């Protein structure tokens, strides 16, 4: 039976969280470590933007005034206000269970999370249809639309996920809210209707759905369902010294760089920098 890594790293700041996810993905792609599931949190409420999302989708001045860090993810998708939640990342090579491309990878990973939520008592559903471009929402908030492979309950998405793919592997990142700060989300994300207020009829967290929600029980459910779904053993681990060194470099050179965050520099420049770092360390 194959052995994968499970890294429950705790909370870090926004830039380092993104940098560590990318560093782990690089290490996995290099064949230095096996596929890795990372679970983590955020030191303070923070906004993450999709890699190609316009920063105009959020109220940057509100974030500055309220000490809400803004970071741009390596993965795509729309914006997320991270706070009281479980965030995950998963990195693997494009082989074995993950040799069939983007949609099939989404589906397989979603099945594991769906099983975990079932074990927590939620009768969630996974979307199996693809939306056409004309049907996709233009709302800047990730949790306002449900795409193929994503999990929802009564029309409300419970996990927001996105991928970054390379020729030799991929990184998938996802957010699983425990509770929602509806007022803050409404202030951060701009909409075509300024008076629109996000509410629990549209977005909801697990603590609002599950009485006496237990975070550790939920994480154990995720571990067990991943092991069953992929016929592997997940071994609790820590980022390697090499991954930590690379994460610090990526944090300082990329994820704390205003040009990357604002989207004013070509993404290819930062991708190339990451490849140079990947080969140099």
Please identify every residue annotated as catalytic.
142
Closest CA to 193 of 140, 136, 133: 140
Q: Are strands 2-12 and 36-42 parallel, antiparallel or unpaired?
A: parallel
Answer yes or no: are the C-beta atoms of 88 and 38 closer than 8 Å: yes
Return the structure tokens found at 163: 């991928």
SS3 content of the chain, % helix, strand, coil (to 5): 40, 25, 35
Q: Which residue carries 């202030």 as its tokens?
A: 187
Q: Are strands 232-236 and 2-12 parallel, antiparallel or unpaired?
A: parallel
Answer yes or no: are the C-beta atoms of 203 and 185 closer than 8 Å: yes
- C-alpha distances (whole Å) from 269 to each of 4, 132, 164, 279 are 32, 31, 16, 16
Give SS3 for 78.
coil
């Amino acid at each position: 039976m194959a052995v994968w890594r499970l890294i429950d790293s705790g909370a870090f700041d926004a830039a380092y969280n993104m940098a560590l996810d990318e560093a782990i993905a690089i290490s996995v792609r290099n064949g230095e470590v096996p596929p890795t599931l990372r679970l983590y949190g955020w030191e303070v409420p923070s906004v993450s933007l999709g890699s190609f999302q316009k920063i105009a989708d959020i109220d940057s001045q509100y974030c500055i005034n309220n000490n809400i860090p803004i970071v741009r993810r390596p993965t795509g998708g729309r914006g997320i206000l991270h706070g009281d939640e479980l965030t995950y990342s998963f990195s693997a090579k494009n082989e074995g269970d993950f040799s069939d491309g983007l949609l099939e990878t989404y589906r397989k990973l979603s099945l594991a999370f769906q099983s975990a939520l079932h074990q927590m008592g939620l009768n969630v559903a996974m979307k199996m249809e693809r939306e056409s471009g004309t049907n996709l929402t233009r709302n800047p908030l990730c949790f306002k639309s449900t795409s193929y492979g994503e999990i929802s309950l009564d029309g409300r998405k419970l996990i927001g996920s996105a991928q970054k793919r390379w020729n030799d592997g991929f990184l998938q990142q996802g957010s699983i809210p425990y509770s929602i700060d509806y007022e803050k989300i409404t202030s951060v994300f701009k909409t075509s209707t300024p008076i629109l207020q996000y509410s629990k009829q549209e977005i909801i967290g697990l603590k609002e759905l599950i009485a006496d929600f237990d975070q550790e029980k939920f994480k154990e459910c995720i571990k067990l369902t991943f092991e069953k779904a992929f016929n592997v053993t997940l071994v609790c681990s820590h980022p390697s010294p090499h991954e930590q060194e690379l994460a610090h470099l990526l944090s300082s050179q990329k994820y704390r760089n205003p040009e990357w965050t604002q989207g004013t520099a070509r993404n290819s420049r930062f991708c190339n920098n990451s490849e140079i770092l990947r080969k140099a360390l």
